[in-house]
Structure 1
Amino acid sequence: MLTSVNTATSGQWAVLQENLAGIAGKHPGVVFASSLGVEDMLMAHAIFDAGLPIEVFTLDTGRLHPETLALVDHIHDRYGVTVNMVQPDPVAVKRHVDEHGAFAFYESIELRKACCGLRKVEPLRRILQGRPAWVTGQRREQSLTRTELTETEFDAVFGLHKYNPLANWTLEQVWEVVHALDIPYNPLHDQGYPSIGCEPCTRAIRAGEDIRSGRWWWEQKLSRECGLHVS
C-alpha cells in the first residue's frame, strides 16, 4: 500500500500492478528486460511483490558499472529472486575488439552501434526467441526518440508483443514510489546519473541537461539509442 504519495501517483501505481498482472496472464512466458535503472527497479518490485510469473533479465554487456552489477545481489537479498544475466557471445566481442579496439565506439556512430549490436541487441534477440511478449521500463519523457512511445505495441524487429507500462509516468512519480516503498536503486543515480548504461558510454549530467544527455554524449541527440528499442 502507498500511503505517503499523492492520489495521482497512487492511482498510477495501482494501474501498473493491474497491467502487469494482465500481461502475465495473457502472455505465459513473458519477460521483463531490466537495465537496473530506477524505473526498472520500480517495475521489478511490482513484479516480485505480486509474485507475477514474469522472468526478469538484464543484459550483462561486460562493460557495466560495479554499482549496477551489485544491484543483482541486492535484488536476490531483498526479494529472493535471481536475475537472469544475459551475456554477449565472447568470441564475437573479442573479434570486434581485436579488429577495432576496446574503445572504437568513440570513433563513429557505426562502430558504436556495432558494439551495441554485439553486446546488447544480439543477446536480447537470443533471449526473446520464442517468447510471446516482453516488457520494458521506458518512459516518453526520457528522450526525444521516445516521445511517441505507446504502452502497447507489436515489436516487428523481434517479432513479438511489447509493453511499456511506464510510458506516461514522470520521473517525479517514479522516485515518489521508489522512496515510499524503499525500493533499492543504483547509487549512481544520487551522483548525477539519471540514465545509466555501459560505464564508458555513460557520464553524469550537468545542470539543465536532459536526463539522457549522459548517454553517448559525444553523439547527436537523435542517434542516442542502442538498437534495443526501434519504433
Structure 2
Amino acid sequence: MTPGQSDPDRREDTTAEVEPARAGRLGEVLTGDEFSFTEAVGGWRGFIESAAPGVVFVIAYLGWGGWLIPVIASVATVAALVLVRLIQRSSVQQALAGVLGVGIGAIWAWRSGDAGGYFVPGLWANGLYLAALLASMAVRWPAVGIVVGLLKGWGTSWRADARVMRMMQLGTAVVAAMFALRLAVQLPLYLAGAVVALGTAKLAMGVPLFALTLWLVWLLVRNAAPRSTPQDPPPTTR
C-alpha cells in the first residue's frame, strides 16, 4: 500500500464503528462508553418539549376545570413547539411524537367529555408495552437483547450465551417494571378521578423515569458480549 492510499479494511472497520449512531439517540445512549442523562432525555430542549403540553394541561385544568380549555391549551402548546422547530428548520421528530400523543389524548377526552380521558391512551400504551415485554421474556427473546444485539452487530449470537441471556432478560425486566410502576400509580388515580394528581404523576414518571430506566439497562448491558465461537484450527500442511 502506497502512502496516501487508505487501507480498505481500516475504512470498513471505521464504518462499523459509527453504525450504532445511525440507530438514533437510543442506540447512542445504550452503546456509549459513558451514560449521559442529557442525551437520554433528548437534551434539555427535548425534555421541555415533552413536558410542556402536560404541564399546560394541568395548569389549565386548575384554572378553568372541565376538559375543553385544558385540551385546547395542550394542543396549542404542542402546535407552537412544532411551529418553532419549523421556523428554525431544526428536527421536528420529537415534537411530532408529542403531537401524536397529545392528539390522541385530546380526541379521547373530547369523546368521553372527561378531562381524565386525556390520559387514557397513555395507560393503554403502558399496558400494551408491558404485555409485549413480558411475552418477549417468556419466549426467551427479551426485547432488550434484540435491540442491543442489533445495535452492537451481534445478530442473534447473544442468545447462545447463558450469561448474556440473563443480562438481557434482566434488562427487559427493568423496562417492564417501569411500565408496571406507571400503571400501578396512575391507574388508581384515573379511576379516582384525580386529574391533577394523575397529570403530575405522568410528568414525573415520563421522561425522568425513562432516563433512569435506560441508565439501569445501560449498566447491565455495557459489558455484555457473547463469547466468540471457537474456530477449528487451520489444517496443517505436510
TM range (shorter): under 0.3
- TM-score, structure 2 as length reference: 0.25
Greater helix percent: which structure? 2
